[in-house]
Amino acid sequence: RDAFKRKRYGAGEYDPNFDLFDAAADEIERLRREIVRCDDACFKRDKEIADLRDGYPSRLRMFFHDLRAPINPVMLRDHGRFDYVAHLAAASHVDRSIVDPIGFILDNVLGTGHLLEYVRRNHQDAKTLVFSTDEVFGPAPHGVEYDEYSAHCSHNPYAASKAGSEALCPAYAIT
């Protein structure tokens, strides 16, 4: 787990998803759950994947899949039932979303839809957590703090794609 506490980039930049994953890793460790991780097989993550396997050698099983495509249940049939599904996969960084907004919509909205649909069809009893961003609320005026019930007012494609992802969650939960 210490690998996820280190900064991932350079010049003081870091990916907050790793901090989030570290918190999730603490919870996984506490619950003593087996981990099944879906990754898009991006080669730049080889070191990250090796570090994760080293941290949980007996409990980590991985499969590689791009969430832009539906998840085939046959691919996961050997993994059994899931108690929890935590969706931390997302395209991030506002600047990149301005250059490639459609890519962000595919990753964040369609990817979330595919994951929720897989869970709905195959693991209805699993507790599902979808992580998002405060960017969905737009810039906060001085002294204002948003909560989960605040209205969305996205100001960039990244925030809008995450708002779309969030909108799918209650729709799947209710129906």
DSSP state of 107: I
Distance, CA of 124 to CA of 107 (rounded, Å): 23
In angstroms, what is the C-alpha Rg of the chain?
17
Residue with token string 């939960």: 173
Region of residue 93 (phi > 0: left; psi between -120 and 50: alpha; otherwise: beta): left
Task: Report long-range pairs for 137-142 (Cβ below 8 Å, ≥24 apart).
Answer: none
Q: How much of the chain is helix, strand and coil, in % rounded to 5?
A: 50, 10, 40
Q: What is d(CA 123, CA 100) in angstroms, rounded to the nearest whole number?
A: 33
Residues that are catalytic: 134-135, 158
Q: What would the two tokens of residue 61 be? A: 């099983």
